[in-house]
Structure 1
Amino acid sequence: METTAAEPPTSTPPAPTTPTAPPPAPTPAAAGAGNLPSPSAGTWLSGASGVGAATGEFGSWRGRPLEIGGQWVDTNQDMVHLWGLKEEWNHWDGPIDVAIGAIGPGETWQQAATGAYDGRWRQSLTNLREVRGSRSGALFIRFAHESNGNWYPWSVDAGEVDAFRAAWQRFRALQQEIYPESQLVFNVNRESVGSGVDWRRTFPGARYVDVMSVDYYNQWPAVTSAGQWAGTLDDVDQYGAPKGLEQHRLFAESVGLPLAISEWSGNADQGGSAAFMEAMYGYLGEHAGNGPGEILYEILFNVAGYDGTFAVFGNGVRMPETAEAYRRFW
Structure 2
Amino acid sequence: MIMTKFRWLILLAPVLLLGLMSPASAAPASKTADTAFAYTGTWSAKDTTGRQSWSAGSTATMAVNVDAGGGTLSVYGSVGPGLGRASVSVDGGTAVNVDTYRSTWGDTNWFTSATLPQGCHTVKVTVLGQKNTASTGNTIVIREGRTSNGTILTAGSACTAPGAWLSGSTDEAGDPFSSWRGDEQDSATTWSDSQSACENQWQLGMGFANWNKPLVVVIGGKWEQSWSTAATGGMDSVWRTCLEKMKANLGSRPQSMLTISLFHESNGDWYPWEVSQADLPNFKAAWARFRALQESILPDARLMLALNADHVPPGGGYTPEQMFPPASQLDVLGLDMYSMHHPHGAGEGISDWVARAAALGKPLIIQEWGVKEDDTAFVQYVRDELVKHGGTGPGKIEMENYFNLWPETYQLEPTTTSPNAAALYRQLW
TM-score bracket relative to the smaller structure: 0.7 to 0.9
Secondary structure of the structure 1 residue equivalent to 2:292: helix
More helix by share: 1
Question: 1:282: how far off?
Answer: 2.2
Consecutive unaligned residues in structure 1, runs of 5 or more: 1-39, 224-228, 238-242
Which is bigger in relative contact order (C-alpha 8 A, separation at least 6)? 1
Residue aligning to 2:392: 290
2:243 alignment partner, one of 119, 125, 129: 125
Is the Cα contact below 8 Å between 1:94 and 1:135 reproduced in 2? no
1:113 to 2:231 alignment: yes
Amino acid corresponding to residue 73 of structure 1 in structure 2: S
Q: 1:41 to 1:274 in 2, by over 3 A?
A: closer
Is the Cα contact below 8 Å between 2:275 and 2:313 reproduced in 1? no
Identity among equivalent positions (%) equals 35
Aligned equivalents of 1:149, 1:276: Cα separation in 2: 21
Residue aligning to 2:299: 180
Matches for 1:86-165 after TM superposition, within 5 Å: 86-105=205-224, 107-132=225-250, 134-136=252-254, 138-165=257-284
Matches for 1:60-79 after TM superposition, within 5 Å: 60-79=179-198
1:273 alignment partner, one of 375, 378, 394: 375
Secondary structure of the structure 1 residue equivalent to 2:218: strand
Bigger Rg, which one: 2
Is the Cα contact below 8 Å between 2:192 and 2:220 reproduced in 1? yes
Residue aligning to 2:168: 47
Secondary structure of the structure 1 residue equivalent to 2:413: coil
Is the Cα contact below 8 Å between 1:56 and 1:65 reproduced in 2? no
1:200 alignment partner, one of 316, 321, 325: 321
1:252 to 2:354 alignment: no
1:319 to 2:418 alignment: yes
Is the Cα contact below 8 Å between 2:162 and 2:388 reproduced in 1? no
More strand by share: 2
Q: TM-score, normalised by structure 1?
A: 0.77
Residue aligning to 2:336: 215
Flag as ranges the 4+ runs of structure 1 deviating above 6 A.
none
Residue aligning to 1:59: 178
Cα deviations by residue, 1:178-226 (Å, 9 ceiling, x for unpaired): 1011110111010222422323212111111110011010115xx5xxx
Question: 1:133: how far off?
Answer: 5.0
Aligned equivalents of 2:327, 2:251: Cα separation in 1: 24
2:410 alignment partner, one of 310, 314, 320: 310
Secondary structure of the structure 1 residue equivalent to 2:241: helix
Question: 1:41: how far off?
Answer: 7.6
Matches for 1:4-15 after TM superposition, within 5 Å: none
Residue aligning to 1:19: none
Aligned equivalents of 2:398, 2:366: Cα separation in 1: 8
Q: TM-score, normalised by structure 2?
A: 0.59
Residue aligning to 2:369: 264
CA RMSD of aligned residues (A): 1.8
Moved more, 174-183 or 185-194: 185-194
Aligned equivalents of 1:302, 1:85: Cα separation in 2: 19
1:85 to 2:187 alignment: no
Amino acid corresponding to residue 58 of structure 1 in structure 2: F
Aligned equivalents of 1:56, 1:310: Cα separation in 2: 17
Question: 1:262: how far off?
Answer: 0.4
Is the Cα contact below 8 Å between 1:73 and 1:85 reproduced in 2? no
Residue aligning to 2:85: none
Question: 1:61: how far off?
Answer: 0.6
Cα deviations by residue, 1:231-273 (Å, 9 ceiling, x for unpaired): 57xx8x5xxxxx2211111010001000010010111xxx222
1:301 to 2:301 alignment: no
1:169 to 2:288 alignment: yes
Secondary structure of the structure 1 residue equivalent to 2:394: coil
Aligned equivalents of 1:85, 1:100: Cα separation in 2: 13
Question: 1:87: how far off?
Answer: 2.3
Question: 1:275: how far off?
Answer: 2.5
Cα deviations by residue, 1:159-179 (Å, 9 ceiling, x for unpaired): 110000010011011111110
Q: 1:281 to 1:41 in 2, by over 3 A?
A: closer
Q: 1:41 to 1:321 in 2, by over 3 A?
A: closer
User: How many aligned residue pairs are there?
Assistant: 266
Secondary structure of the structure 2 residue equivalent to 1:142: strand
Aligned equivalents of 1:179, 1:133: Cα separation in 2: 12
Is the Cα contact below 8 Å between 2:267 and 2:320 reproduced in 1? yes
Amino acid corresponding to residue 308 of structure 2 in structure 1: N
